[in-house]
Amino acid sequence: MKIDFFYWNYQCPINNENIMLLNELKTDFKINYYDISVDPQIAIDNNIYFPFLTVFNNTIRWRGPLKKDIIEKIKKGKEVVETPYMIKLGEQKFYGEIVELNDSNIHLLSNGCTMNNCSASCLKKKQFLSSVCDDFYGYLHLNNGKVVGGVEYIPSLQVPYNVAKDEETAFLTCIYHSSTEYDYKSYPLEKLEQRLSKKYKSIIAISGEEGTFPNGNLQWFLNHGYIDNGVISIEENYCKLHLMSKSL
């Protein structure tokens, strides 16, 4: 079986975990790796708007983290169905402690942004972010020292996706975590927008229409003053992705 793994460098820590898993299986499958940050045309040609995407035998697109049992089912020709993460988002805004996300605390993401609490994957993310940003990557939202939310950005000129980009536009890469109890995302986003307004004129983001991956859902962004610039990608039986924007 042929496996093509597309990834945006180590923008997401799960990229590293997926690669480690695939490396374990390289003797059983024909595996190709494509870093879309090296060649953005690959993202355009393959309609990629996710930090990672796996394509099996040129036909099955898998957007989530990889697991051995999923790969084995596909190998055996069994049907696999990937369902989007859809929840009723909590509306009560939570106001905890906001701290800058930087090299010294990026390891805190291992608990919620990796599959296996992998601090090595966060180190890979740190190395990537330090190559495209200054020493500020966004904000973490803490409750009693635990990460409950956060927001990250990258200058839009560093984004490999097929979106309009310029020096005056920032790109919202990640906003987390989605919860049915509280809205942990609003407060760090407000802080990020305030800070970015000193350098950028606008911010753009990609949101799922109904699901919370990536970043969504759409209504949440609309509630926070973002404009819907329309559908930029349709992942059949999975999601519709919209490009959102906001003046700073």
Sequence ranges of the domains in the chain? 2-75, 97-102+137-247
Pick the CATH number of 97-102+137-247 from 3.30.43.10, 3.30.210.10, 3.40.630.30, 3.40.50.300: 3.40.630.30
Distances (CA, A) of 144 to 46, 123, 147, 195: 42, 24, 9, 24
Pick the CATH number of 2-75 from 3.40.50.300, 3.40.50.10680, 3.40.30.10, 3.50.50.60: 3.40.30.10
Q: Could you tell me the pTM of the whole model?
A: 0.95
Provide mean pLDDT across the span 9-30: 95
Distances (CA, A) of 39 to 43, 153, 172, 197: 8, 20, 21, 30
CA-based nearest residue to 74, from 92, 54, 94, 89: 54
What span, in angstroms and rounded, lies between the C-alpha atoms of 198 and 180? Answer: 33
Among the ranges given (108-112, 209-213, 230-234), the one the predictor scored with the smallest mean pLDDT? 108-112
pLDDT in tens, 67-104: 999 999 999 999 999 988 888 999 999 999 999 999 99
